[in-house]
Structure 1
Amino acid sequence: MPLTLKSTRKWTDRYALVMLSGLLPVVLGLFIIFWQANRSLQFEATQTAAEAVRQFDLMLDNAALAADVVLPLAGQDCVQVELPLREQVTRRPFVRSVNLMWNNQIYCSSLFGPFKEAVDPADYASGELRLMAGNPVTPNEPLLVYRRAKGQAGVLVSLYGSHLVNVLGLINQYTQLLIQVGGNSIDKYGQVRNTPPVPYPVAQVTVSSSQYPYQVVAGFRAGTVWRFIRAQYPGLMGLFVFLGVVSALTVRWLKKRSSSPTHELQRGLDAAEFIPYFQAVVRSDTKQWAGAEVLMRWQHPREGLVRPDLFIPFAEHSGLIVPMTRSLMQQTARLLAPHASSMEPGFHLGFNITARHCQTLELIDDCREFLSAFPAGRIALVLELTERELIVPSAITHELFAALHGLGVMIALDDFGTGHSSLSYLHEFNIDYLKIDKSFVAMIGVDALSRHILDSIIELSVKLDLGIVAEGIETEEQSEYLASKGVVFLQGYLFARPLPATDFIKTLVARHTPPQ
C-alpha cells in the first residue's frame, strides 16, 4: 500500500531561492537537474531494495529458526511431533506451516498432521528457497517455502506470501519492487511469474541477500525522470527559467527527504480519513445482536479503502495508534449515540487497544468521554488487548486497568491462544472476556488437536469465570458446535461482515423495529 509524504514546502520559499541564483546558463541548469534526478532515483531505488532485503531476511530468519528446532525430529512418527510443529507456527512470526520430510517426501504437516507429498530439491533455488503462486490448500495465495535438509532428514517451512507483498507495497510508494527467487518473481500486486521480469526502464538496481538465495529488483517506470523534474520544478518562465531550474535543484538537493509512512499516517489522521466499520457480535442462542466490534479502516483519497493490516503496524510503531483510536471512539459516539434507543441495554461496543495505550492514563478520559455520550446502562464499552506489542506490567498499567474497571469498562483478551503473553495477561490484569482466535474456530470438524485446544480454552474460561467470544464463524457447523459448548457470543461472516457506519445503523434500526 503506497504511503505518500505531505509536502511542507511553499511556493514562496522556492520563489525566493529562484531570485538568488542568476548567473548560471539555461543549458547548465537543465543538465544539472537531469543528472541529479537520475542520481537521486538510483540512490532511492538502492536504499529501498536494501531495506526490502533486510525485512525479507528477518522473515527467513524466523523460518530458519523453526527449521533448526524441528529438524532433529525428522524421522519420528508424525503423531509424536505434530504438537512441536504447531508450536513453531505459533511462536514464529510470518510462518504459515512447518513440514517434516524423509528422503524428500513430506510425511508430517503442522496443518494436517500425517501428509504425503514428494519434494523435488531442483525446484528450490540453491536447494533452499521456492516461490510459489499457491498450493492445493490455498491456490490463489502466494507463499515462500524455505527448505533445510541434512542427510535423509528435511524440513519445509512456508511463509505467508501476503507478508512479502506488504513489504513490497509499503516501503516506498514511487519505487517499483519485486523479489526474485530462482526463475520465479513476485511484485507488490501479489502476482507470481515464472518468466524473466521485464526490466524497469529507469534506475534499475538489483540487491542480493547475503544470507539466502534471492534478490530484490527495484526501479521506476518509463518517463519517471521527466515527471520527477516537472513535479519538483514548476513555474519556470522567461528570463528566470535558469534561475528557477538552479534554485529548485538546490532546494531539492538540500531538503529532499524520503517518503515516510508516519507522515502519511499523520496526514490521514489530520484529514479524518480513518473511519469506523462495525462487525456485529450475536448471541449464540437467539442470534440477536449483542454488540459490535469497531474496526478501523483507512479511506485513502487515492488508494480507496485500505485494510488495517497494511497500516496498523506502522501506526503502532509510530505511536499514532493512540490518537487514531481516540478519533475512532469519538466518531463512533457521534454516529451511534443518536440511535442508542435501537440498542438493547448493555449493547457491547469493542475497540482494540495496544501496549501504546497502556503507557499513560489518557485512555481513562477517552473512555469516560465515550460513555458519557450514551444514556446510562445503554452500552457496555469493551477494550480488546492485542498482542502485537507486549504490555509490560507497571504501576501505570495497574492504575489504568483499575480506573477502567471503575468506569465499568470491560477488558477482553483478543486472539487468545496465539500469543506468547496470553496467560501472563490473565495473571497480571483483571480480564473479563477471552476472544477465541479464528484459527481455532476454522479447524472445527477438521483437526482434532485444534478442537481439543479450543475445548480447553472454553473450559479455562468457565473455571476463571470469564466471558468468551468466538471469532471467525463462517459455517453453521462451527456455530452449532460453539453454542453446544456454552459459548454465548459469536462473531463472523456467517452473521455479519464488517459494515460502514451507514449500513450498520440502517441494519441496527431495522432489526430493532418490529415488523408492521
Structure 2
Amino acid sequence: MRNALIPLIAAVLLFITGVFILNLQLWYSARTDRLEGARYAVNSINNILDEASHATRLAVGIAVKGCDTEGQFQLGTEAALQPHLRTILIVKDGEIWCSSLPGNRGLLARIPKMSASRLFLAPAEDAANEQPFMVYQTRFAASRVLVTISDQHIREALNAPLEGIIYRLRVGNNVIGLSGDITALNINTLPSGQVDSKTYPFSIIYTQPPLFSLLRLVSQGPGILIFILFISCATAFALVKYLNKNATPAETLRRAITNGEIVPFYQPVVNGREGTLCGVEVLARWKHPRSGYIPPALFIPLAEKSDLIIPLTQSLMRQVVTHMNVIAHRLPEGFHIGINVSAAHIASPDFVAECLKFKHSFNHPALNLVIEVTEREPLDVDEDLVQRLNTLHENGFVIALDDFGTGYSGLSYLQDLHIDYIKIDQSFVARVNAEQDSTRILDCVLDLARKLSLSIVAEGVETKEQLDYLNQNNITFLQGYYFYKPVNFQDLIKILLSKPKVKVAVNDPTTPKDDTHDVVC
C-alpha cells in the first residue's frame, strides 16, 4: 500500500507544482501584456493631447490679436490639419467668440461647464451629435480655449489588440470606455490596474488577470500541460519500479494481498470407496503477474512471520463466498468447505465474528464449514480459546486439526480442545508401499484416532497401494493427486458438472464416531 501511495502522491505533487509554475508564468505574462497595452493607450492619448496643446497656443495668439477672418481661417486650418481634433473654440462670457468652424459655430448643444482641470470629459448631452467627447481647456484672462476631441478617436486609442482586455480612459472621477456615454467611477469598485499619464491629468484603467484561470491554462498552455502530465506519470512509473525493486518480501506480499493476487484453489475431498466428491479444502495460491502461480509453501511462512496471515485469510474467505454463491445450486447438502486458520488468527479478538460473518454470507443454507487449525504456530490453549472454539461449534462449525503429527504439540491439542477430526499429513501416507513395515507409524496414528473417537481425513493419496491400505482401514474420506489436484474455481465448476450427484454420508452425533462415518460429509 505504501509503495503504491508514494508514487501516486509524488505524481500528484509534481503535476500540481508544474501547473502552479505554468499558471504563474501565464499570469505574469498576462499582467505584463495588459500593462504594456495600457502604456500604449496612454502614449496614444498623449499624442492626441499634444495636438490639442499646439492648437491651444495658436488660439491664444488669435484671441490676443482679435478674431477676424484671418484668425478664423487659421483656427479652421489647424483643426483640419490635426487628425484627432474636432473643433477649436474661444469662449468669452459663456458664449463662443471665435471658432474653427465657419460662422463661429461649435457643434455643441451647450457650452460645457467651467472646470478647474485642463482636461475633462463631456457627456453626450453637451454635443449636437449626441456623442460624448473630451475637452482640452486653457484659461486666460476672462476667456478660455476649448479644444474638443471626438469619442471615436478616444475609443480607437483604447482599443488595444489584446483579446479579452477592456481599457477605459479616466479623467477625474469620470470614465469613458469602448462604448457608451461618460460614467462616474464607482469608488467601491476601483480597478485593479491603472497607468497614469506623466504629461496630462488622465489615467488608463483596466482589470488585472485572475491569479488562477483554468481557461487560460487550457487555451494558452495545452502542450505544456500535456508535457507536465507525461512527466508526472513517468515519475510515478519510475518510483513504482524503484520501490518494487527495493521492496522487502513482506511488502511485496502485502501488496499482492491488497491487489487480490492471493487466490483460492480447491482441493477436492472424495469418498475413497465410491469416488464421489463430498467437499473441498481451500488452499492459497499466489497468482503472480510475471511468475504465474506460486505454491503456499513459499509465502505462507512469510505471511505468518510478518503478521499478514490474518488479512490473507480474510481475503480468501471473501473470495470463497463469492465463488460458492455462484455455484450454490450445484452444491449438495452437507458439502463441506474447509479453510485453514493460523494460531494468530484464532487468538485475534474478531475471529469468532469473522467466522460467523463468513458462514452467514453463503446463499446455500446447508454447507458444512470446517475450521482447519494449522500446527505451524503453537496455540496458546486457555479458557478464552476453548470458549471461542465452543462458540463456533454451537454455530455449526466443525473443528479439524490439520497436518496432524507434523507441528507443535498435536497430542496435547487432542487432550485440551474439542477436535472433531484429524487430517493425517501426506508425509505419513507417503510411507505406505508394498513393504510390510512401511505402515507402522501410520498404524499407530490410526489406532490413536480410533481410541479417541476422532474422524479421519487422509491427505496426499497418490498411489493405488495407498488407496487400498486406507480403504482396508475404513478411512473413507481422502484427498490427493490420485483423485484431483488442487484446482482453480473454473476447473472446480467442471468437476462439479462432470459429477452432478454427490453421495452424502450422514453423521449422527448421537452414535459413537467410527471410521465409516467421517464428520465432513
TM-score by length of 2: 0.50
The 2-side partners of 1:261 and 1:337 are apart by: 33
Which SS does the other structure have where 1:8 is aligned? Answer: helix
Q: Is the 8 A contact 1:358 1:396 kept in 2?
A: no
1:257 to partner: Cα distance: 10
| Residue 394 of structure 1, CA deviation | 2.5
Shift of 1:363: 2.4
Distance in 1 (alpha carbons) for counterparts of 2:246 and 2:445? 47
Aligned to 2:253: 265
Deviation for aligned residue 1:7: 6.1
- For 1:8, which of 2, 6, 9 is the aligned residue? 6
In structure 2, the residue matched to 1:462 is: 450
Deviation by residue 1:59-111 (Cα, 9 ceiling, x = unmatched):
xxxxxxxxxxxxxxxxxxxxxxxxxxxxxxxxxxxxxxxxxxxxxxxxxxxxx
Deviations 1:250-270 (A, max 9, x none): x99xx9995222222221122
Instruction: Give ranges in structure 1 of 5+ residues lacking alignment.
Output: 20-239
Judging changes above 3 Å, is the alpha-carbon distance between structure 1 residues 423 and 447 closer, same or farther for their aligned structure 2 residues?
farther
Q: Does 1:410 align with 2:398?
A: yes
| Paired letter, 2:262 | F
- 2:427 is matched with 439
**In structure 1, distance between residues paired with 2:328 and 2:436:** 43
Where in structure 2 are the equivalents of 1:89-168 lying within 5 Å? none
Identity of aligned residues (%): 39
With structure 1 as the length reference, what TM-score do the two structures score? 0.51
Tell me by how many angstroms 1:353 deviates.
Answer: 0.9
Confirm or deny that 1:389 pairs with 2:377.
Answer: yes
Q: Distance in 2 between matches of 1:351 and 1:477?
A: 28
Mapped pair 1:345 → 2:333 = yes
Of 389, 399, 418, the residue aligned with 1:430 is 418
- Bigger Cα Rg: 2
1:335 has 2:323 as partner: yes
User: 1:352-391, aligned counterparts within 5 Å?
Assistant: 352-374=340-362, 378-391=366-379
State whether residues 346 and 377 of structure 1, in contact with CA within 8 Å, keep that contact through their aligned partners in structure 2: no
TM-fit CA distance, 1:338? 3.2
* 1:495 equivalent in alignment to 2:483: yes
Structure 2 residue aligned with 1:510, among 483, 498, 518?
Answer: 498
Structure 2: how far apart are the matches of 1:385 and 1:513? 30
SS at match of 1:512: coil
Aligned-partner SS, 2:375? coil
**What SS does the aligned partner of 1:465 have?**
coil
CA contact (8 A) 1:277 1:498 kept: yes
Distance 1:341 1:416, change over 3 A: same
Deviation at 1:309, TM superposition (A): 1.2
* 1:337-389 deviations in Å (ceiling 9; x for gaps): 23223223211111111111111242222222222233565210111111111
Specify the SS of the correspondent of 1:431.
Answer: coil
- Counterpart position of 1:294: 282
> What are the residue-to-residue correspondences of 1:15-94 with 2, within 5 Å?
none
Distance across 1 between alignment mates of 2:298 and 2:320: 22
**1-side partners of 2:270 and 2:402: how far apart?**
17
Match of 2:465 among 469, 477, 480: 477
Question: CA 1:257/1:509 → structure 2, altered by over 3 Å: closer, same or farther?
Answer: closer
Structure 2 unmatched runs, 5+:
20-227, 503-521
The corresponding residue for 1:115 is none
Which protein, 1 or 2, shows the higher relative CO under an 8 Å CA cutoff with sep ≥ 6?
1
Tell me, in whole angstroms, the C-alpha distance in 2 between the residues paired with 1:455 and 1:446: 15
**Secondary structure of the structure 2 residue equivalent to 1:315:** helix
Contact kept, 8 Å, 2:244 with 2:252, in 1: the verdict is: no
Within the candidate set 387, 392, 411, 1:399 is matched to 387
CA RMSD across the alignment = 3.7
Q: Number of aligned pairs? A: 291
Query: What is the identity, as a one-letter code, of the residue corresponding to 1:11?
Result: A
